[in-house]
Amino acid sequence: MSNTPIRVDIVSDVVCPWCVIGYHQLARASEQSGIAIEVHWHPFELNPGMAEEGENMREHLAAKYGTTPEGSREARQRLTELGASLGFEFNYADDSRMVNTFRAHQLIDWAAGLGRQHETKQALFRAFFTQREDVNALGVLGAVAEEVGLDRAEALAMLESCELAGTVRQKQRFWTERGISGVPAMIFARQHLVTGAQGEENYARILQHCLETEASERAG
C-alpha cells in the first residue's frame, strides 16, 4: 500500500445497496492496486419522509420508481450475485422492508467521535441487508453499537435524547446544497466527484490518477 492514503469521502445511506457495492468495489481496487484509502462517511437519506414503521420494500419501489414485481426480483438477484462476488451477503425476501434511517445516521455520527465510524457503517449495512433488521429500531441500533465495541447504554441515551439530530441534518444539507441528489457519491482527494458504483477497474484508475496528481503537486 502507498504510504499516504487517498482521502475518499462517501455520501451514502445505510439502505442503499449500490452504496454497499460501490464501497466494496473501491476497497477491492485499493487492495489490488496497493493504493491505500482513508474513507469518511457522510449522511444522506434516500427516503427522508419514510414513516417510523417503514414500508414493504417491493411496494415502496413500485410506488417510487414504478418497479414491477419481475423487475424487483431481477434487481435483487443481480445485487445478490454482485454482493457475493465482493464478499457481501444480500439476503432479500418478499417481506423485506424499507425503513427510516435518520437514527442510524445519528449513530454513525456519534461513533465517528469515538473512532468507530467505518465499523458502525459496515455493521449497519450487514444489519439491514444481511440480517434484515430494522435499523430504525433502538434495540437494533444499540446492538450495532455493542457489536463495534461501543457502549450500548450510551448509544441509546444519545439516540433517545436526539442530541445529534441537528448536527446530522446540517451535514445532510451540506451535501444536498452542493448538488448531491443520489448515492453513492464519492469525492476523491477532496476534488474529484464520482457518482454511482463504478466497478473495481474504474476505481483503480481513479486512485492511480489521484496518486499521480499528488506526486506531481509535491514535485511542482
Q: Is residue 126 part of a domain?
A: no
The pLDDT of residue 162 = 97
Indicate which CATH number applies to the domain containing 10.
3.40.30.10
Spell out the alpha helix ranges (H) of 97-151: 102-112, 117-125, 138-147
* Residue 149 · residue 116 · CB < 8 Å: yes
Buried (b) or exposed (e) across 25-48, using 16+ Cβ within 10 A? bbbbbbeebebebebebbbbbbbe
The pLDDT of residue 52 = 86
pLDDT in tens, 132-146: 999 999 999 999 999
Q: Most distant CA pair in the chain: distance in Å?
A: 57
pTM, 2 dp: 0.94
Set of cell numbers at residue 97: 422492508
The pLDDT of residue 92 = 94
Among 104, 102, 95, 96, smallest CA distance to 143 is for 104
Number of domains present in the structure of the chain? 1
Domain that includes residue 200, residue range: 1-44+180-220
Q: Is residue 75 part of a domain?
A: no
Q: Which residues of the chain have pLDDT under 70?
A: 1-3, 220
